[in-house]
Structure 1
Amino acid sequence: MSDLSSGKDNFDLGVRLRYVRQNAGLSQRELAKRAGVTNAAISLIENNQSSPSVSSLKKVLDGIPMSLTDFFALETPEESRVFFNASELVPIASGAVSFRQVGDMRHHNLQLLHERYAPGADTGRAMLKHESEEGGIVIEGAIELTVGDRKSILKAGDAYLFDSRQPHRFRNVGKVDCVIISACTPPYL
């Protein structure tokens, strides 16, 4: 079997397959049905947890339909994107708590956020919980972070890193906005 994921520097076969599938208007399930493979096989490839042989990839692409040549020649908009101006960050939450995201998470396994919490703002009384890991650095202000039964007030320069399956909550306990740069993998929001 030939490993297709290492043929080109920074080539992400999973992102490319997801892009092509979505552009064709197909769900993972529909593509799997057309290609005669399992839905899990498509999911594993798109999440880079499986590197298909050339013949397996050809079988999947036949379900779109698309040739191997076209697949490898295609440059997805997100794959070619490296730099983002501040104005290009995507707002995904606004108000007392705002999140602006770098890039399009349909094409990445890492979510990078610019977070802002107004004084007294928090993520809600109900603790958050999701299948990810997350970390961040406080840039300005202070944030009270509760993870499970642990609680700490983090100030500018302080950082955190935890398994997001643990219940957690963010709350600005200061008198000025709190700004955090955070990362989450796999993406949550």
Structure 2
Amino acid sequence: MSGFDVGGRLRALRIERDLSQRELAKRANVTNSTISLIEQNSVSPSVSSLKKILDALPVSISEFFAGEPSQEEPKVFYRAEELTDIGDGQLSWRLIGARRPGRSMSILHERYPPGADTGETMLEHDGEEGGVIVSGTIELTVGNEVQQLGTGDAYYFDSRLPHRFRNVGDRECVIVSANTPPSFSDGGDACHHV
């Protein structure tokens, strides 16, 4: 989450909702010190930890990073530098059209360096998701199934099943994925891989 003031943005959203650090921590089921350290930019939260806190507001990951939806005519083409990175500094998840109003799906360009992991806590949210491994290897756990997928392999599953992504290889894994409904724009209840 480098280059983005995570702490400042979290503090502004918390204050906007008239919540104390203690109340937000209670709602998110984290410690008061966790909220304080994040707001001071003393720690960089994992995507799953940040999602847990944002769910308590509720604010989606894309709303957190992208701000308000664009009032301009929806774009058709996006240059690489225009994609909104909603990763955690280790994982890079670049969301296409983050500020597009009325978006009905999320499309991500994902990068997992060796050892990257979405976290021990399995993810679950409404919807479906699928993707194609562009390069590298990813270990995907869905429910009780675990598979290692390589370049050209793909996945598609019901996102309500507990799932986790881990790069167990020795080189970066790149994935292009999509999920619906657009979990990165819905107010806090769901988020792809986070």
Bigger RCO of structures 1 and 2 (CA < 8 A, at least 6 apart)? 2
| Secondary structure, counterpart of 2:86 in structure 1 | strand
Alignment correspondent of 2:110? 115
Alignment correspondent of 1:168? 163
* TM-score where L is the length of structure 1: 0.57
Note if contact 1:147-1:169 (Cα within 8 Å) is conserved in structure 2.
yes
The answer for unaligned runs of 5 or more in structure 1 is: 1-75
* TM-score where L is the length of structure 2: 0.56
Aligned-residue sequence identity (percent) comes to 54
Shift of 1:98: 1.3
Structure 1 residues 83-125: Cα deviation after superposition (integer angstroms, max 9, x where no partner): 0011111111132211110002642011000111110111000
Alignment correspondent of 2:183? 188
Runs of 4+ in 1 over 6 A off after TM superposition: none
Q: 2:94 aligned with 1:93, yes or no?
A: no
Note if contact 1:90-1:101 (Cα within 8 Å) is conserved in structure 2.
yes
Q: Which of the residues 92, 96, 105 maps onto 1:102?
A: 96
Alignment correspondent of 1:128? 123
Compute the RMSD of aligned alpha carbons.
Answer: 1.6
Q: Which of the residues 77, 82, 96 maps onto 1:83?
A: 77
User: Amino acid of the residue matched to residue 165 of structure 2?
Assistant: F
Shift of 1:77: 2.4
| Secondary structure, counterpart of 2:81 in structure 1 | helix
